[in-house]
């Protein structure tokens, strides 16, 4: 459920008419709904009921400070993948002791920074990374808590670019090797094993892959406990999908039921790392129609948001619904909605049935809260969009539109 709805044919974010924001701030602009984000967080954390658990929001999905701040208010933990994300979490008062650190390429500096901050644990993805973490911890006179991210070799049945739990993937460690790594870690003075981790992919819309993966991980957790490792955490990763078009992903309650049925018997505290399910449908990208052009083959509509602002369609063939900010009646025809970037993949929507858009007309690209702004770039020397946070009838700019001066900051001509 989200708070983007039509009232008298005008699309609103909560109580605010979106055309008002587009006029005041300009386009392209990301607009987020606080009520939607808060609600999603509560639904997700309540889904696990009384079983000990910690929701660690996956910062990569949307790392805007104001969004992280809202999640801090809700009591969220964080799943980070870089020193930059750690700095953002700390900046908004997030708790390091509720933060877990993933990624296949953490540098020694990033490890040192996270250790000094006192994060909950590191999710380690290779033998060499484990040795590096041990060295960094010993140099600080500390002991680093860690989990091994295991690769359960389960097909999440999602887009191949966002599948991570297959044998061929760069992520995680095979089960057999994981056992050996935990055993070796007992002899490493800078390390303390505290859990087991997995994450099999993103935008997963069925429960079966989660069930298969978590069943295997629970088995490993118990085997390790038996070998005397004092484990407490079972990190089940993120990956729960959302509805972009007609997908029917499991609800957070259904997801949690599946996860708990696979791992509750271990007695471990569950760490869940949702990204998309929290923020995806809490954000839209507003864009304005620049021009239209008819060719013998197609009708093109050029808008002012490009693949640099929202990369998902170009990168994953992702489908985002397009909603006019002011509904109007008329016959629909298939149009290609394209951005201004000089790449043929800069297509927001292909052959999308729309009432022929007019010049200057405003559209909302729906479900753009996750992996939208956080993946935006400056390609074609395009300043990144502004961001606005709505709360009831109030709204404020939470990130200014970049200026061209921002683009060359640090450069020397």
> Which residues lie near ligand LLP (CB under 6 A)?
58, 60-61, 79, 102, 162, 199, 202-203, 237-240, 273-277, 312, 316, 370-371
Q: Smallest distance from the beta carbon of 237 to ligand LLP, in angstroms?
A: 5
Give the nearer residue to ligand LLP in terms of CB position, either 165 or 324: 165
Q: Specify the 3-state DSSP secondary structure of 283.
A: strand
Q: Smallest distance from the beta carbon of 346 to ligand LLP, in angstroms?
A: 16
CA dihedral sign of residues 172, 176, 181, 183? positive
Give the nearer residue to ligand LLP in terms of CB position, either 33 or 58: 58
Q: Smallest distance from the beta carbon of 355 to ligand LLP, in angstroms?
A: 28
Q: Smallest distance from the beta carbon of 283 to ligand LLP, in angstroms?
A: 12
What residues contact 134, with CB distance under 8 A and at least 6 apart? 144, 185, 188, 189, 190, 191
Give the nearer residue to ligand LLP in terms of CB position, either 274 or 385: 274
Residues 408, 274: Cα–Cα separation, whole Å: 34
What residues contact 377, with CB distance under 8 A and at least 6 apart? 308, 311, 384
Residue 248: what are its φ and ψ, rounded to 5°? -125, 75
Query: Among candidates 71, 134, 123, which has minimal Cα distance to 100?
Result: 123
Give the nearer residue to ligand LLP in terms of CB position, either 162 or 264: 162
Give the nearer residue to ligand LLP in terms of CB position, either 22 or 144: 144
Query: Among candidates 376, 348, 368, 307, which has minimal Cα distance to 30?
Result: 368
Active site includes 342? yes
Residues 193, 181: Cα–Cα separation, whole Å: 10
Scanning 118-174, the segments in alpha helix (DSSP H) are: 127-139
Residues 75, 69: Cα–Cα separation, whole Å: 10
Q: Smallest distance from the beta carbon of 180 to ligand LLP, in angstroms?
A: 22
Contact 10, 325 (CB under 8 A): yes
Give the nearer residue to ligand LLP in terms of CB position, either 312 or 384: 312
Give the nearer residue to ligand LLP in terms of CB position, either 274 or 357: 274
Q: Smallest distance from the beta carbon of 202 to ligand LLP, in angstroms?
A: 3
Contact 376, 309 (CB under 8 A): yes
Q: Smallest distance from the beta carbon of 182 to ligand LLP, in angstroms?
A: 19
The DSSP result for 4-36, as a single string, is EEEETTEEEETTEEHHHHHHHH-SSEEEEEHHH
Q: Specify the 3-state DSSP secondary structure of 91.
A: helix
Residues 332, 211: Cα–Cα separation, whole Å: 42
Give the Cα-Cα-Cα angle 9, 13, 17 (nearest 5 degrees). Answer: 50
Contact 279, 67 (CB under 8 A): yes
Active-site residue identified among 56, 143, 198, 342? 342
Residue 146: what are its φ and ψ, rounded to 5°? -145, 160
Q: Smallest distance from the beta carbon of 247 to ligand LLP, in angstroms?
A: 12
Give the nearer residue to ligand LLP in terms of CB position, either 102 or 386: 102
Q: Which residue is nearest to ligand LLP (CB)?
A: 275
Residues 408, 258: Cα–Cα separation, whole Å: 49
Residues 51, 236: Cα–Cα separation, whole Å: 14
Catalytic residues: 342
């Amino acid at each position: 459920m989200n708070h983007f709805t039509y009232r008298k044919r005008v699309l609103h974010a909560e109580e605010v008419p979106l055309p008002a924001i587009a006029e005041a701030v300009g386009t392209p602009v990301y607009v987020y709904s606080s009520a939607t984000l808060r609600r999603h967080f509560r639904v997700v954390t309540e889904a696990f009921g009384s079983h000990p658990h910690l929701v660690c929001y996956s910062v990569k999905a949307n790392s805007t400070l104001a969004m992280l701040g809202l999640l801090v208010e809700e009591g969220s933990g964080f799943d980070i993948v870089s020193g930059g994300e750690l700095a953002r979490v700390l900046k908004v008062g997030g708790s390091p002791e509720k933060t877990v650190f993933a990624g296949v390429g953490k540098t020694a500096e990033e490890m040192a920074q996270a250790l000094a901050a006192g994060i909950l644990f590191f999710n380690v993805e290779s033998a060499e990374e484990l040795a590096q973490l041990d060295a960094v911890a010993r140099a600080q006179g500390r002991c680093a808590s860690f989990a091994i991210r295991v690769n359960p070799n389960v097909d999440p049945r999602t887009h191949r670019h966002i599948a991570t739990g297959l044998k061929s993937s760069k992520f995680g460690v095979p089960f057999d090797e994981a056992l050996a790594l935990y055993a070796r870690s007992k002899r490493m003075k800078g390390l303390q094993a505290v859990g087991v981790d997995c994450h099999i992919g993103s935008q997963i819309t069925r429960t079966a892959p989660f069930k298969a993966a978590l069943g295997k991980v629970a088995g490993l957790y118990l085997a390790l406990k038996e070998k005397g490792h004092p484990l407490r955490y079972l990190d089940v990763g993120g990956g729960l999908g959302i509805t972009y078009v007609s997908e029917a992903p499991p609800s957070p309650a259904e997801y949690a039921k599946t996860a708990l049925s696979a791992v509750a018997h271990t007695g471990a505290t569950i760490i869940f790392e949702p990204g998309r399910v929290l923020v995806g449908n809490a954000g839209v990208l507003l864009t304005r129609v620049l021009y239209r052009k008819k060719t013998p083959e197609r009708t093109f509509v050029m808008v002012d948001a490009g693949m640099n602002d929202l990369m998902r369609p170009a990168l994953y063939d992702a489908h985002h619904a397009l909603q006019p900010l002011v509904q109007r009646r008329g016959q629909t025809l298939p149009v290609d909605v394209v951005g201004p970037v000089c790449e043929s993949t800069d297509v927001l929507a292909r052959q999308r049935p729309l009432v022929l858009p007019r010049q200057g007309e405003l559209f909302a690209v729906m479900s753009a809260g996750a992996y939208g702004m956080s993946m935006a770039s400056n390609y074609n020397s395009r300043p990144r969009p502004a961001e606005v946070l709505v709360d009831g009838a109030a709204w404020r700019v939470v990130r200014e539109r970049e200026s061209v001066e921002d683009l060359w900051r640090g450069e020397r001509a």
